Amino acid sequence: MLCKRIIPCLDVRNGKLTKGIKFEGNVDIGDPVETAKKYYEEGADEIVFYDITASSEKRGIFIDVVERVASEIFIPFSVGGGINSVEDMRAVLVAGAEKVSVNSGAVKNPDIISQGAAAFGSQCIVLGMDVKRVEKSEDIPSGFEVVINGGRKYMGMDAIEWAKTGEALGAGEICLNSIDADGTKDGYDIELTKLVAENVRIPVIASGGAGHPDHMVEAVTEGRATAALIASIVHYGEYTIPDLKKHMSSKGVRTRNTW
């Protein structure tokens, strides 16, 4: 059994670590670089950074933050938000990130996935997906719709079909965020996670809703995710990363203890 990864997610707005619920009501809660260093020292497997307003504000990514993070942590980290071209990807990778996450930019221009995979390898390209539960319809038979621009724009695209398309275009991983569960601490959307994981062959990271270590266990067992993204559960000091790994191990889920 491969080790399941624990991945803290740091949402950044105007250079500050921020957190909201269901993509709304964000409040600033700290410094992203210092927080990343803390999670690295605690044993995080990877870290994800999202510039949450870059796409809606139609601006570039926060390269200065990426460079500062790369000088402080020595585990893989990915960066998303405002990445709309191969040049944007290159800038992030040169600044020190191991992976780039494309979300809104990929929905608008799917070729960016194949272009990035060709330039840097599929292992560098993460397809970020923000998904909302909706009524099932001819266009959205799964009942899960793709939403972009930080949860602001519904696209009329079925999430399962988009995941399959992203894989076919060359994405090496999917980070799957449930908008309905985001920040609620009521647990991941297991139905959504399992549906996507069963329809693609690439790794799927479950995101949105972790409030208890059992939620993470559910995501990587019932949900078939290869990793669990976490935010509020550690940002507010309820649990440490060692706490989470110890609990998961006690439930039979293998995790990495040291690099």
Q: Which residues are known catalytic residues?
A: 11, 130
Q: What angle, 0 to 180 degrees and rounded to 10, lies between the N-to-C axes of helices 190-199 and 159-169?
A: 40
**What span, in angstroms and rounded, lies between the C-alpha atoms of 85 and 100?**
11
For the packed helices 241-250 and 32-42, what is the interaxial angle rounded to 10 degrees?
A: 40
> Which ranges of 21-110 would DSSP assign to H, the alpha helix?
32-42, 63-70, 86-94, 104-108
Do the beta carbons of residue 61 and residue 95 sit within 8 Å?
no
Q: Which amino acid is at 86?
A: V
Contact (Cβ atoms closer than 8 angstroms) between residue 135 and residue 153:
no
Q: How far apart are CA 250 and CA 259, in angstroms?
A: 20
Burial code (b: 16+ CB inside 10 Å, e: under 16) for 173-192 equals bbbbbbbbbbbebebbbbeb
Q: Is 58 exposed, middle or buried (0-12, 13-18, 19+ CB in 10 A)?
A: exposed
Torsion sign over Cα 105, 108, 109, 114: positive
